Amino acid sequence: APTHILIVPNHLIPTSNDIKASDEPALGRMMTVAAKLASEAGIAKDGYRLIMNCNQHGGQEVYHIHLHLVGGEPLGPMLSPRQ
């Protein structure tokens, strides 16, 4: 996508499975930052996608959770049908 921004909390959370109740403020902040950055990038009105992967089968490659903000063009379906 033309716009691809990573949003990373400033304390280590390896995977979504490691999230604790005490992490809720940081995760909520990630969402408000995503909305702000999407607006600043001019993609909020048309829409964007937020992606967070978890572990190997989920496609996680970096073991510090982060949110991908992608947009700027139609992204199509989230998943392709299995064949």
Based on the residue annotation, tell me whether 4 is a catalytic residue of this protein: no
pLDDT in tens, the chain (83 residues): 999 999 999 999 999 999 999 999 999 999 999 999 999 999 999 999 999 999 999 999 999 999 999 999 999 988 777 66
The predicted structure's pLDDT at residue 58? 94
For CA atoms 5, 23, 55, 80, the dihedral sign is negative
Q: Domains of the chain by range and CATH?
A: 3-71 (3.30.428.10)
The predicted structure's pLDDT at residue 11? 94
Of the candidates 4, 11, 64, 66, the residue annotated as catalytic is 66
Tokens linked to 47? 């829409």
Strand partners, 6: 68
- Give the span between the Cα atoms of 25 and 20, in whole angstroms: 10
Q: Are 26 and 11 in contact (CB under 8 A)?
A: yes
The predicted structure's pLDDT at residue 83? 63
